[in-house]
Amino acid sequence: MDREAHHSKDDVDCQVSKETGIEAVARRTLKALVEGRKAKASVGVSYVRAFCTFLLSADEQSCLRLVAQLQERGASHDLIADQLIAEAARELGARWDKDELSFAEVSLGISTLLMVNAAVRSVSEPATITKNRRVMFATLPHQAHTLGIGLAAEVFRQRGWDISVHLRLPKPDIIDEVRRTEADLVGFTAGRKRSLDELIVVAAQIQSLPHSPRVMIGGIAAVSSVTQTNGMDDITIVESVEHALKLAEEL
């Protein structure tokens, strides 16, 4: 790894010691995407900058189109991992450190980066789907903090689940997507009461679909409202990814 990358990792370690909770998780995720990558011929600064712009807009399809362009030019999976994905992670971390990006923006960028990274890996290192149930994760348009959903989806993918992730999707589109894919379990997160109230309504619509999917909601607002009964009788509140995995195993 080159000297510049080495120093950026040291900076990350220093920052983690000062942070707790989801922000520390975000920084560790960026570090993990950088670690172990070797410096090779660059894909070009313009590609990395464009890639970061797409990440911060949660534009997964544009990210994948850019990857496809590089592959058409002969870029290998390793080159893309080393000089696009890893460099984008470094760029997001550096801009966060300089306060050029808010945590909400970085959270969205990381979530999209995790999905793109999984999609790129699935071509050269196909994930083995060992579960016969579909799990869908989604966030509402106004939800800025999407890192938790992205990380949960990645854990589920690694454990062999057939997963899909939809960030900032309008409520009618969420219902349509659950209906179309016949997802068996749908996961949301609610950091604020406003989101929780909206998701309770969405959950009721989802559970009324013919295939009767289960709905789970995590996040601070959901966990703190476990005593609430209005509209939440059929919703499972999950306190961690492991709790969500246990719920999925019980389907």
Domain ranges for the chain, please list them. Answer: 3-124, 134-249
pLDDT at 33 over 90: no
CATH number corresponding to 134-249: 3.40.50.280
Full-model pTM: 0.66
Alpha-helical (H) ranges within the chain are: 3-18, 21-34, 45-56, 60-72, 77-80, 86-97, 103-124, 147-158, 171-181, 193-207, 220-223, 241-249
Dump pLDDT digits (tens) for 146-200: 778 888 888 888 888 998 888 889 999 999 999 999 999 999 999 889 999 999 9
pLDDT at 99 over 50: yes
pLDDT at 38 over 80: no
Provide the CA 195 distance to its chain's centre, in angstroms.
Answer: 18
State residue 140's pLDDT score: 93
Average pLDDT over residues 128-141: 89
